[in-house]
Structure 1
């Protein structure tokens, strides 16, 4: 009689995702009524050597090599589960639990742990293509890089809804979204979600912040500049007229015209009045000169200079010699 032994295929490892710097628990779940005698935990990174990590025996937690790469980062979570703290990227690998069950049953359970970095906070960079009264064409670029399995997705509104393929175009990697919208759709909010298996971050972008400003620029470029030019022209003319009137008022103001006596320039030639007294006994000539002065209608003073007549009287005569 031949005994046929059927080997049961090993159960595929359970997928477990961890975040860099955080903790993860590898849980062993057994059916009720089964009593665990001992559990041995081991670790293998890729095709490397398998390392024995810990033993659960009689309610105790033992570490065969406390100085391995995990050091103090391993601890017993409950009677059957193992906890790994302060995860590192090198902790990714396969963890196996060899479970001895009373009376004499052995089961093996495997976990595939992958440690991911948290995704960075994304940013949206916008580029306005055209913005007119008929609509707005804009490109949104979601920037959110990270190591590992990072994906980028777009949504619209709150709550987030899927995009309409007819008016939205995505780049192959999903990071760039091109929009062609009508004026009635310009009040929409678009969201970019950057995620990996352990983390997710979302950023929103209000389309009005770029499309409305674009409309304002476009509308101002034609009639707006004409009105501005006309206003500046009127302002310039008004300023010129005001300056002209102020200058005329200053010219017509008598207070602005000096009324004091005009001082003679020291450089003008001075002509002194030279009066020569007639000789004694020539009273007739003196009286004749005084009479001429009184008869002058302008009553101008008689000025005698070196260029005027010089009266000479010969001795013992009364004739006036010129």
Structure 2
């Protein structure tokens, strides 16, 4: 009788008008989420059916005459719980749980209502990485200033947004014209009075957020401490040395006999048999 009632409800739902689309629900991998069934005033539910519609249609939970059931062999087996108010709880969430869910509600008067909710499951946002890039000084640049590009990046995460804040101010204080690459890059101009000013990058998605803070003046090339190489000095030293090592490697490949004393001995040993063979032939 229960199975007959279930199939009757499914057939009834197919003949119903378009379903009511509910809000989008967000959850985090490893966490929990509640899919709420909304009932109009005076709607006394007698039967309910929860289904997952993607990637394949599956029964997740049902409610018939006061008896909830969640033991259907769907991918949510053991992770689904039907509450008394007919809302569906899922935990722990997995990355493949994202998709649409439908709930069919039938009241004691025979009225039916179908609601569809969209579940999106997200990764937790990791700590972002902030890099500081210093512009090369020029004549047009005011004295004792530092033009800085701040780049914020969070690896292997989708559906994220970037925002910047200048610490110590009541508002964000960031001009939209200073932001690039959808807010991922910030351009700032610093002076001697900004030595202790810090900038924070916030990376967020609908379920989590994290922040990284940097004091960019410490990386300015004209503030490099004695005995420490600036970015420009590093380029002037590393690039020529790398070129010399590359040329030396190529020379050793083309002329193995010139790559050292040991190699010269090996080449000499290789030449010796070739010079001895003609003499042996003559003696015979």
Q: TM-score, with normalisation over the residues of structure 2?
A: 0.65
- State which drifts further: 14-23 or 137-146: 137-146
Q: Which residue of 2 aligns with 1:309?
A: none
Unaligned runs of 5+ in 1: 1-6, 222-322
1:132-171 aligned at under 5 Å gives the runs 134-158=144-168, 159-165=170-176, 168=178, 170-171=179-180
Q: 1:182 aligns with which of 168, 184, 191?
A: 191
Is 1:62 aligned to 2:62, yes or no?
Answer: no
The match for 2:49 is: 40
Is this contact kept in 2: 1:189–1:205, CA < 8 A? Answer: yes
- State the 1:151 CA deviation: 1.9
Structure 2 residue aligned with 1:282 = none
Q: Which residue of 11, 15, 27 corresponds with 2:24?
A: 15
Q: In the alignment, which residue of structure 1 is the partner of 2:240?
A: none
Relative to total residues, which structure has the larger helix share, 1 or 2? Answer: 2
User: Would the alpha carbon gap of residues 76 and 63 (structure 1) be closer, same or farther in structure 2, given more than 3 Å must change?
Assistant: closer
CA RMSD of aligned residues (A): 2.7
Instruction: Give the Å deviation of 1:99.
Output: 0.2
The answer to whether the 8 Å contact 1:152/1:193 transfers is: yes
Contact between 1:52 and 1:64, CA under 8 Å: does it hold in 2? no
How far apart are residue 32 of structure 1 and its match?
A: 4.3
1:205-224, aligned counterparts within 5 Å? 205-211=214-220, 214-215=222-223, 217=225
Listed one character per residue, the Cα deviations across residues 22-60 of structure 1 (whole Å, up to 9, x for unaligned) are 100001132444311011111111xx4311111122332
SS at match of 1:121: coil
Within-5 A mapping of 1:60-209 = 60-63=67-70, 65=72, 67-129=73-135, 134-158=144-168, 159-165=170-176, 168=178, 170-209=179-218
The 8 Å contact of residues 19 and 116 in structure 2, kept in 1 or not, is answered as: no
Give distance in 1, aligned partners of 2:115 and 2:68: 19
Name the CA distance, whole Å, in 2 between partners of 1:52 and 1:165: 48
The CA deviation string for residues 152-176 of structure 1, in whole angstroms up to 9 with x for no partner, is 222212455141356x3x3324322
Q: 1:160 to 1:142 in 2, by over 3 A?
A: farther
1:216 & 1:147 partners in 2: Cα distance? 35
* Helix, strand or coil at the partner of 2:78: helix
Structure 1 or 2, whichever has the larger Rg, is 1
Higher relative contact order (CA 8 A, sep 6+): 2
Tell me the matched-pair count: 208
Deviation track 1:134-187 (CA, whole Å, cap 9, x = no partner) reads 211222221212332122222212455141356x3x332432223222333443
Describe the superposition over 1:235-293 as per-residue Cα deviations: whole angstroms up to 9, x where unpaired.
xxxxxxxxxxxxxxxxxxxxxxxxxxxxxxxxxxxxxxxxxxxxxxxxxxxxxxxxxxx
CA distance change for structure 1 residues 75 and 138 in 2, over 3 Å: closer, same or farther?
same
Kindly indicate whether the alpha-carbon contact (under 8 Å) linking 2:70 and 2:81 is maintained by their aligned counterparts in 1: no
SS of the equivalent of 2:186 reads strand
